[in-house]
C-alpha cells in the first residue's frame, strides 16, 4: 500500500511538462532503436533466428545468437526483417524518422498537429519510392530487393497487372507531383530564408563598415582633440607661469577672506570641464536606468480595456489606452507666470497667456477595435507561417501608432521575428511599421503599427498639463506625447544639446517651434536669450518680433536672425568668447554652474562693479546646419564642437537641425558632442544610422512622428503641433510689449583679433600673406575677415591677425561689429605706394 502510494506520488509530483518530456524521450528512443535495426539489416539474420532455440539465447560466449549481424541482436533482426523485408525495404527508414519527429514535438511541448502533414507525406513517399524501386527490380533485377521490400514489389506487381507498362508512367507522374507538392509548400519559405540570409549579410557588412568608419573617425578626432588640449594646456601653463612671475614681483596688497575656501573650488576651466563631463557620465547612467525602469514598469496606471476572446484563435489580446497627464487649470500657468514676472522688476513683462493657443477639438483618442483585431489577425497569421507561436498580445494605442506587445512561446527565438519585418509590412500594408525584438529590458517583442487615423497632439494639451506647469526644469521642453499618451518632457540644460534630423516635410520646423514655444511659456526674457541662425531665411523669421526681449546678437548686427554664413560663423566664434568670459565669471564667483552663479549674484554676493552680471541661458538654434557646413565647413564645425563640449556649465545650449543627415554634415566631432538626438522621418536607413546610430527613423511616418534618444533608450513620440498662427499670436503678444532698453549683446571678437594691446606691430612678425591679403581687400574694397578666409583659404584666426596688421598699416579702418571694415586705400597704385613706404620704413 505504502509502495503504491509512493509511486503515485512520484509521478503525481512531476509537472505536466516534465511528464511530456519523459514521454518524448521514450518515443525518440523507440524511433532511434527501430532506425538502428533497419540500418544494420542483414538478410541472413532471419534464417539464423529461425533456427535458434530458446536455450541459445542464454549461452554466454558461443552459440548461433552471437552470429546475428544486426546491431540490436535478435529483436533488431526481427524488427529489420519486418520493416525491410516484409514492408518497404530500406525506404522503411522513414517510419523511425516519423517516430523521432513525434518524440521531439512531445519533448518540446509543441503542437503535435503540426506533425500530421509530414507524417502523411512521409508514409506516402515511402510507399511510392519502394513501389518504383520494386517496379525496376521486377523488370531489370538491377539491385537487391532489400531496397523496395516485399510490399514494394507486391504493389508494383499489382499495378503492372492492372495497367501494364502504364504502371511506371503512373508511378512517375505520382513522384513528380509529390516532389512539386513538397517544393511548392516549402518554396516560399526557402526563397524567404534565402532573402533574409542575403539581407542579413548585407546589413552586417554595412554595420561593420560603418563601425570601422566611425572608429577611424573617432580615433582621428581623439588625436586632434588631444593635440588641441595639449596645446591649450601648454598655453595656459605659459600664461600661468607668466602671471606667477608677475605677481611674485609685485608686492601682495590684500588677501580676500575667502581665500582658504578656494582650495575646494574649481580653479581652472579644465577642472570645470572635467567636472561637467563627469556629471554628464553620471547623468547618462542615471537616464539609462530610468529608461529601463520605464520599459518594465507595470501598466497599472494605464486605463485598461479588454476585448472579448477572439473566436478565430485562442491568443488573448488586451487593449490599453494611456490616460494621459492631468490637465492643469486653465489659468494656473498664467497665474504662475504673473508671479514670476513680478519677481523680476527690471523690466515689465507679461508672459504669453494660455488662451493664445488653440484648444484641441476633441479630448482623447478613439480606439478602433476592429482595426486592432484585424492587425492582430494579420500579425499572428504571418508569424504562424514562420512557426512562431505567440501566447498573448497587449495593444497600447498611442496618438500615431499602436504598439503590439507580443509574448512569444518559450522556444521562439525572438531575434528571428525582426527578420520578418518586410513580410509583416507587406501584410499590414503599413508604412512605418517598426519592430523591437525584444523590447529593451523585456522578453516581449514590440511591433508598432501606424493607426488608420492619427490624432493631432495640440501644443495646448501638452503645455497646459500639471506636468509642464509644475515642472521645475530650467529649460523645459515638452516635445509631445508618447505611445502611452504621456507628455514627454526633458530639461535642455541636462541634455545639454540637441541634434535634430529629418527629411523635408517631416516636421522639423514645427518641432523647432514647439521647442521655442515651450521655452517662451516658461522662461522670463531675463533668464533666456536665443541666438537664431537660419540660413534658409524663412523658418525662424516669425521670431523676429521677439527681438527686443529674447534675441541675443552681435553689436550692430543688421539682422536679429542670422541668415548669412559669414555672420553665423562670427556669431558662433563670439559665443565661444561669451563662453570663455562666463567661465571666468564662474571662476571668480567660485561656483561650478550658471544656476549657482545666478543665485549668488541675485543674493547680492557678487559685485556688479567687478563685472558680475545675471547670466541668462542662451539657446542657439541653427535651422539647417547643412547649408552652413557646405559653405564654411571646418570654420563652422569648430566653434560648434567647442561650444558643445564646454558650454553646458555656463548655460549655452545648442539645438541644431538638418534635413541632410549625412556624415559630412553631422561629422564625428559634432555627433560625439550631441548626446540628445531627435530623428523625424528620414529617407534611408543610412540616414537613420547617422543620426541615431541605428535604423528606425526611416520607418517613421512623418508629420511629427519622431524618435528621441539621449544616450539611453529610444522613445517614439508624436510631436506636439503648433501652428504658424499660434506662433504669430505669441510673438505678437511679446513683441508688442516694451522690451529692454539695451538688447543682449554678444562679445565682439576684437579682443582676439585686434585689441590695442595685442595688435602685432606691422613691422614685426608680418604675415607672409600680408601683401596678397592687402591686394584682395583693396580689389574688393571690403575689409572683411571672411573674404580673406575664402580667397586665401586660411583659417579665421590667421585672417583676423592679417586684418589687424592691415589696420596697423593703415589699409583698413577700425573694427565695426558685424559689418566689414572700411578700406582706406582706393586702388592698387596707392597700395603699391604704401607697401613701398612700409618696406623702406622696415629697412
Ligand atoms: N507635430 C505635427 N502634427 C501634425 N502635423 C504636423 C506636425 N509636424 C508637421 N506636421 C505637418 O507636416 C508639414 C511639414 O512640417 P514642417 O514644415 O515642420 O516640415 P520640415 O521638416 O520643417 O520641412 P522643411 O525642411 O521642408 O521645412 C506641416 O505643414 C504640417 O502640416
346-380 pLDDT, tens digit each: 778 899 999 899 988 765 556 778 888 888 888 88
| pLDDT of residue 522 exceeding 90 | yes
The model carries a pTM of 0.59
Return the pLDDT at 192.
60
| pLDDT of residue 10 exceeding 70 | no
Q: Is the CB of 461 under 6 A from ligand 1?
A: no
**DSSP string computed for 727-794:** HHHHHHHHHTS---SS-EEPPPTHHHHH-TTTPPPTTSS--TTHHHHHHHHHHHT-B-HHHHHHHHT-
Within a domain: 256 = no
Phi/psi zone of residue 830: left (φ > 0), alpha (ψ -120 to 50 degrees), beta?
alpha
- Domain stop point among 701, 734, 767: 734
List all residues 6 or more positions away from 269 whose beta carbon is below 8 Å from its beta carbon.
580, 583, 587, 646
Q: Which atom of ligand 1 is nearest to the CA of 513?
A: 18
* 465, 500: one domain: yes
**What CA–CA distance (Å, rounded) separates 395 from 319?**
5
Are 584 and 268 within 8 A, CB to CB? Answer: no
Q: Which atom of ligand 1 is nearest to the CA of 718?
A: 1
Task: Please give the tally of structural domains in the chain.
Answer: 4
The percent of residues in the chain predicted with pLDDT above 90, rounded, is 27
* 383, 519: one domain: no
- Domain stop point among 110, 139, 164: 164
Within a domain: 175 = no
Return the pLDDT at 315.
74
Q: Which atom of ligand 1 is nearest to the CA of 624?
A: 25
Which of 505, 540, 701, 708 best tests ligand 1's pocket when mutated (most atoms within 8 Å of CB)? 505
Residue identifier of the C-alpha nearest atom 23 of ligand 1: 505
Name the band, by pLDDT with cuts 50, 70 and 90, for residue 268: low
Residue identifier of the C-alpha nearest atom 11 of ligand 1: 703
- Domain stop point among 450, 473, 492: 450
**What CA–CA distance (Å, rounded) separates 451 from 457?**
14
Q: Which atom of ligand 1 is nearest to the CA of 514?
A: 1
Annotated binding site for ATP: which residue ranges?
Answer: 502-509
What secondary structure letter does DSSP report for 619? E
Q: Is the CB of 659 under 6 A from ligand 1?
A: yes
**What CA–CA distance (Å, rounded) separates 618 from 651?**
6
Q: Are strands 652-658 and 617-623 parallel, antiparallel or unpaired?
A: parallel
Residue identifier of the C-alpha nearest atom 26 of ligand 1: 504
**3-class SS string, 393-404:** EEEEECCCEEEE
Question: For 650-678, what is the mean pLDDT?
Answer: 88
Q: Is the CB of 753 under 6 A from ligand 1?
A: no
* 286, 313: one domain: no
**What CA–CA distance (Å, rounded) separates 315 from 391?**
6
Q: Is the CB of 399 under 6 A from ligand 1?
A: no
**What CA–CA distance (Å, rounded) separates 614 from 605?**
12
Which of 623, 701, 702, 703 best tests ligand 1's pocket when mutated (most atoms within 8 Å of CB)? 703
The percent of residues in the chain predicted with pLDDT above 70, rounded, is 81
Cis peptide upstream of residue 496 (ω within 30 degrees of 0): yes
| pLDDT of residue 6 exceeding 60 | no
* 666, 695: one domain: yes
Name the band, by pLDDT with cuts 50, 70 and 90, for residue 797: confident
* 629, 514: one domain: yes
**What CA–CA distance (Å, rounded) separates 457 from 511?**
12
| pLDDT of residue 4 exceeding 50 | no
CATH number at residue 669: 3.40.50.300
Residue identifier of the C-alpha nearest atom 3 of ligand 1: 721
Are 602 and 564 within 8 A, CB to CB? Answer: no
CATH number at residue 381: 3.30.980.40
Cis peptide upstream of residue 438 (ω within 30 degrees of 0): yes
* Ligand 1 centre distance from Cα of residue 639 (Å): 29
Within a domain: 253 = no
Return the pLDDT at 57.
66
Q: Is the CB of 509 under 6 A from ligand 1?
A: yes
Within a domain: 204 = no
Mean of pLDDT over the chain: 80
**What CA–CA distance (Å, rounded) separates 733 from 725?**
12
Q: Which atom of ligand 1 is nearest to the CA of 539?
A: 27
> Which residues face 404 on adjacent strands?
395, 447
List all residues 6 or more positions away from 176 whose beta carbon is below 8 Å from its beta carbon.
none
**What CA–CA distance (Å, rounded) separates 813 from 505?**
46
Residue identifier of the C-alpha nearest atom 31 of ligand 1: 703
Name the band, by pLDDT with cuts 50, 70 and 90, for residue 63: low
Of 239-243, 320-324, 500-504, 817-821, the range with the lowest mean pLDDT is: 239-243
CATH number at residue 769: 1.10.10.10
**DSSP string computed for 125-160:** HHHHHHHHHHHHHHHH--S-GGGTHHHHHHHHHHHH
* Sole residue written with cell 503648433: 722
Q: Is the CB of 456 under 6 A from ligand 1?
A: yes
Within a domain: 319 = yes
Return the pLDDT at 269.
61
**3-class SS string, 660-677:** CCCCCCCCHHHHHCCCEE
Are 653 and 615 within 8 A, CB to CB? Answer: no
Residue identifier of the C-alpha nearest atom 30 of ligand 1: 703
* Ligand 1 centre distance from Cα of residue 515 (Å): 14
Residue identifier of the C-alpha nearest atom 15 of ligand 1: 507
CA proximity to 832, closest of 771, 750, 760, 777: 771
| pLDDT of residue 480 exceeding 90 | yes
Grouping H, G, I as helix, E, B as strand and the rest as coil, residue 428 is helix
* Ligand 1 centre distance from Cα of residue 653 (Å): 24
Return the pLDDT at 751.
46
Instruction: List alpha helices for 464-507, DSSP H.
Output: 466-469
Measured in whole angstroms, how far is the alpha carbon of residue 611 from the centre of its chain? 44
| pLDDT of residue 712 exceeding 60 | yes
* Ligand 1 centre distance from Cα of residue 721 (Å): 9
Q: Is the CB of 496 under 6 A from ligand 1?
A: no
Within a domain: 353 = no
* Ligand 1 centre distance from Cα of residue 131 (Å): 71
What secondary structure letter does DSSP report for 85? I
Q: Is the CB of 508 under 6 A from ligand 1?
A: yes
| pLDDT of residue 135 exceeding 70 | yes
Q: Is the CB of 560 under 6 A from ligand 1?
A: no
Whole-Å CA distances, 178 to 151, 153, 184: 20, 20, 10
**3-class SS string, 672-724:** HCCCEEEECCCCCHHHHHHHHCCCCHHHCCCCCEEEEECCCCEEEEEECECCH
Within a domain: 601 = yes
**What CA–CA distance (Å, rounded) separates 464 from 324?**
12
Within a domain: 198 = no
Of the spans 66-75, 112-121, 652-661, 662-671, which averages the highest pLDDT?
652-661
**What CA–CA distance (Å, rounded) separates 313 from 713?**
34
For residue range 570-608, list pLDDT tens digits in order.
899 999 999 988 988 888 888 888 989 999 888 888 888
Return the pLDDT at 297.
39
Which of 451, 458, 463, 507 best tests ligand 1's pocket when mutated (most atoms within 8 Å of CB)? 507
Of the spans 224-238, 436-450, 709-723, which averages the highest pLDDT?
709-723
* 320, 399: one domain: yes
* 470, 381: one domain: no
Are 486 and 301 within 8 A, CB to CB? Answer: no
Of 208-212, 710-714, 754-758, the range with the lowest mean pLDDT is: 754-758
Return the pLDDT at 808.
79
**What CA–CA distance (Å, rounded) separates 155 from 152?**
5
Q: Residue 547 sits in which domain range? A: 273-296+456-734
* 592, 617: one domain: yes
Q: Is the CB of 704 under 6 A from ligand 1?
A: yes
Name the band, by pLDDT with cuts 50, 70 and 90, for residue 714: confident
**What CA–CA distance (Å, rounded) separates 838 from 271?**
46
Q: Is the CB of 505 under 6 A from ligand 1?
A: yes
Which of 400, 450, 509, 627 best tests ligand 1's pocket when mutated (most atoms within 8 Å of CB)? 509
Q: Is the CB of 724 under 6 A from ligand 1?
A: no
Please list the helix, strand and coil fractions of the chain in percent, rounded to the nearest 5, in that order.
55, 10, 30
| pLDDT of residue 3 exceeding 50 | no
List all residues 6 or more positions away from 128 whose beta carbon is below 8 Å from its beta carbon.
171, 174, 175, 178
* 536, 684: one domain: yes
Annotated binding site: which residue ranges?
Answer: 502-509
* Ligand 1 centre distance from Cα of residue 705 (Å): 10
Q: Is the CB of 701 under 6 A from ligand 1?
A: no
ipTM value for the complex: 0.96
* 436, 574: one domain: no
* Ligand 1 centre distance from Cα of residue 503 (Å): 10
Of the spans 194-198, 312-316, 427-431, 469-473, which averages the highest pLDDT?
469-473
Directed axis angle between helix 785-792 and helix 770-780, to 10°?
120
Residue identifier of the C-alpha nearest atom 5 of ligand 1: 703
Return the pLDDT at 259.
35
Return the pLDDT at 476.
93
* 444, 542: one domain: no
* 278, 313: one domain: no
Amino acid at each position: 500500500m505504502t509502495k503504491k502510494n509512493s509511486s503515485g506520488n512520484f509521478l503525481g509530483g512531476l509537472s505536466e511538462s516534465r511528464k511530456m518530456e519523459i514521454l518524448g524521450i521514450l518515443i525518440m528512443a523507440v524511433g532511434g532503436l527501430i532506425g538502428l535495426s533497419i540500418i544494420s539489416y542483414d538478410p541472413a539474420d532471419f534464417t539464423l533466428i529461425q533456427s535458434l532455440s530458446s536455450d541459445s539465447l542464454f549461452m554466454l560466449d558461443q552459440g548461433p545468437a552471437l552470429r546475428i549481424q544486426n546491431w540490436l541482436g535478435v529483436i533488431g533482426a526481427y524488427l529489420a526483417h519486418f520493416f525491410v523485408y516484409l514492408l518497404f525495404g530500406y525506404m522503411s527508414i522513414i517510419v523511425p524518422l516519423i517516430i523521432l519527429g513525434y518524440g521531439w514535438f512531445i519533448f518540446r511541448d509543441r503542437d503535435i498537429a503540426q506533425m500530421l502533414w509530414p507524417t502523411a507525406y512521409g508514409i506516402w513517399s515511402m510507399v511510392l519510392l519502394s513501389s518504383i524501386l520494386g517496379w525496376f527490380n521486377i523488370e531489370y533485377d538491377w539491385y537487391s530487393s532489400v531496397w523496395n521490400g516485399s510490399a514494394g514489389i507486391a504493389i508494383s506487381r499489382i499495378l503492372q497487372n492492372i495497367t501494364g507498362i502504364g504502371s511506371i508512367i503512373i508511378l512517375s507522374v505520382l513522384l513528380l507531383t509529390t516532389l512539386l507538392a513538397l517544393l511548392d509548400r516549402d518554396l516560399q519559405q526557402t526563397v524567404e530564408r534565402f532573402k533574409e540570409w542575403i539581407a542579413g549579410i548585407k546589413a552586417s557588412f554595412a554595420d561593420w563598415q560603418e563601425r570601422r568608419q566611425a572608429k577611424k573617425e573617432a580615433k582621428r578626432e581623439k588625436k586632434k582633440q588631444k593635440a588641441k588640449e595639449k596645446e591649450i594646456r601648454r598655453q595656459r601653463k605659459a600664461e600661468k607661469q607668466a602671471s606667477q612671475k608677475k605677481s611674485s614681483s609685485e608686492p601682495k596688497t590684500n588677501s580676500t577672506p575667502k581665500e582658504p575656501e578656494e582650495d575646494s573650488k574649481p580653479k581652472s576651466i579644465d577642472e570645470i570641464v572635467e567636472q561637467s563631463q563627469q556629471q554628464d557620465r553620471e547623468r547618462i547612467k542615471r537616464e539609462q536606468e530610468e529608461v529601463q525602469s520605464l520599459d518594465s514598469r507595470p501598466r497599472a496606471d494605464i486605463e485598461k480595456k479588454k476585448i472579448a476572446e477572439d473566436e478565430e484563435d485562442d491568443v488573448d489580446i488586451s487593449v490599453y489606452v494611456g490616460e494621459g497627464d492631468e490637465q492643469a487649470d486653465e489659468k494656473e500657468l498664467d497665474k504662475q507666470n504673473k508671479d514670476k514676472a513680478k519677481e523680476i522688476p527690471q523690466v515689465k513683462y507679461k508672459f504669453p497667456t494660455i488662451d493664445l493657443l488653440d484648444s484641441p477639438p476633441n479630448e482623447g483618442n478613439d480606439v478602433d477595435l476592429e482595426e486592432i483585431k484585424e492587425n492582430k489577425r494579420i500579425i499572428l497569421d504571418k508569424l504562424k507561417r514562420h512557426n512562431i507561436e505567440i501566447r498573448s498580445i497587449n495593444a497600447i494605442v498611442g496618438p500615431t501608432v499602436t504598439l503590439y506587445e507580443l509574448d512569444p512561446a518559450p522556444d521562439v527565438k525572438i531575434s528571428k521575428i525582426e527578420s520578418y519585418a518586410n513580410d509583416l509590412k507587406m501584410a499590414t500594408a503599413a508604412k512605418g511599421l517598426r519592430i523591437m525584438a525584444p523590447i529593451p529590458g523585456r522578453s516581449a517583442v514590440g511591433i508598432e503599427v501606424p493607426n488608420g487615423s492619427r490624432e493631432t497632439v495640440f501644443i495646448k494639451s501638452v503645455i497646459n498639463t500639471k506636468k509642464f506647469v509644475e515642472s521645475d526644469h530650467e529649460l523645459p521642453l515638452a516635445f509631445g506625447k508618447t505611445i502611452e499618451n504621456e507628455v514627454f518632457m526633458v530639461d535642455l540644460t541636462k541634455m545639454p544639446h540637441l541634434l535634430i534630423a529629418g527629411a523635408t516635410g517631416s516636421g522639423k520646423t514645427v518641432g523647432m517651434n514647439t521647442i521655442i514655444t515651450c521655452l517662451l511659456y516658461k522662461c522670463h526674457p531675463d533668464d533666456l536669450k536665443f541666438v537664431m541662425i537660419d540660413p534658409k531665411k524663412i523658418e525662424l523669421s516669425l521670431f523676429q518680433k521677439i527681438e527686443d526681449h529674447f534675441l541675443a546678437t552681435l553689436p550692430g548686427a543688421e539682422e536679429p536672425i542670422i541668415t548669412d554664413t559669414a555672420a553665423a560663423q562670427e556669431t558662433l566664434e563670439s559665443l565661444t568668447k561669451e563662453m570663455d568670459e562666463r567661465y571666468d565669471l564662474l571662476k571668480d564667483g567660485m561656483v561650478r554652474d550658471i544656476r549657482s552663479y545666478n543665485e549668488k549674484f541675485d543674493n547680492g554676493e557678487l559685485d556688479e562693479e567687478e563685472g558680475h552680471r545675471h547670466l541668462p541661458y542662451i539657446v542657439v538654434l541653427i535651422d539647417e546646419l547643412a547649408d552652413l557646413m557646405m559653405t564654411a565647413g571646418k570654420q563652422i564645425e569648430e566653434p560648434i564642437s567647442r561650444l558643445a563640449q564646454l558650454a553646458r556649465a555656463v548655460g549655452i545650449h545648442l539645438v541644431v537641425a538638418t534635413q541632410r543627415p549625412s556624415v559630412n554634415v553631422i561629422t564625428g566631432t559634432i555627433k560625439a558632442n550631441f548626446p540628445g538626438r531627435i530623428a523625424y522621418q528620414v529617407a534611408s536607413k543610412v540616414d537613420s544610422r547617422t543620426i541615431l546610430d541605428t535604423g528606425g527613423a526611416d520607418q517613421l511616418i512623418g508629420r511629427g512622428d519622431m524618435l528621441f534618444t539621449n544616450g539611453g533608450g529610444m522613445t517614439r513620440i508624436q510631436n506636439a503641433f503648433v501652428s504658424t498662427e499660434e506662433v504669430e499670436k505669441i510673438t505678437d503678444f511679446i513683441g508688442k510689449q516694451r522690451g529692454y532698453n539695451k538688447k543682449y549683446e554678444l562679445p565682439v571678437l576684437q579682443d582676439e583679433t585686434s585689441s590695442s594691446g595685442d595688435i602685432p606691430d606691422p613691422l614685426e612678425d608680418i604675415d607672409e600673406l600680408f601683401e596678397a591679403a592687402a591686394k584682395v581687400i583693396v580689389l574688393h574694397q571690403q575689409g572683411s575677415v571672411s573674404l580673406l578666409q575664402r580667397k586665401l583659404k586660411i583659417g579665421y584666426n590667421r585672417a583676423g591677425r592679417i586684418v589687424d596688421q592691415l589696420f596697423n598699416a593703415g589699409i583698413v579702418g577700425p573694427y565695426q561689429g558685424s559689418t566689414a571694415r572700411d578700406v582706406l586705400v582706393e586702388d592698387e597704385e596707392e597700395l603699391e605706394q604704401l607697401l613701398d613706404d612700409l618696406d623702406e620704413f622696415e629697412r
